[in-house]
Amino acid sequence: MLPKLTLVLGGAASGKSALAESLITDTGAPRVYIATAQGFDTEMRAKIADHRTARGPDWHTIEAPLDLAPALGQTRVNQVVLLDCATLWLSNQILAERDIEAAQTELLDALNHTQARVVVVSNEVGKSGVPDNALARKFRNSQGRLNQGIARNADLVIAVMAGLPLVLKGKMP
> What pLDDT is recorded for position 67?
96
State residue 65 phi and psi, 5-degree precision: -70, -25
Q: Which residues contact 83 (CB under 8 A, 6 or more apart)?
A: 34, 36, 68, 72, 89, 118, 119, 120, 121
Q: Does residue 157 surpass a pLDDT of 90?
A: yes
Q: What percent of the chain has pLDDT over 90?
A: 82
Q: Quote the mean pLDDT of the chain.
A: 94
pLDDT of residue 131: 75
Q: What is the mean pLDDT of residues 148-173?
A: 97
Residue-level pLDDT at 40: 87
Greater confidence, 131 or 160?
Answer: 160
Choose, from 51, 60, 140, 145, the residue flagged as catalytic: 51
| Its pTM surpasses 0.85 | yes
**What pLDDT shows up at residue 93?**
96
Q: What is the pLDDT of residues 34-53, one digit of tens each?
A: 999 998 899 989 988 888 88
Is 113 catalytic? The answer is no
Query: Do 109 and 73 touch, CB atoms closer than 8 A?
Result: no
62-74 pLDDT, tens digit each:
999 999 999 999 9
- Residue 33's pLDDT is 97
**Chain segment 102-145, per-residue pLDDT in tens:** 999 999 999 999 999 999 999 998 777 787 899 988 999 999 99
Q: What share of the chain is helix, strand, coil (3-state, %, to 5)?
A: 45, 25, 35
pLDDT of residue 161: 95
Identify how many contiguous H helices and E strands the chain contains and give both numbers: 6, 7
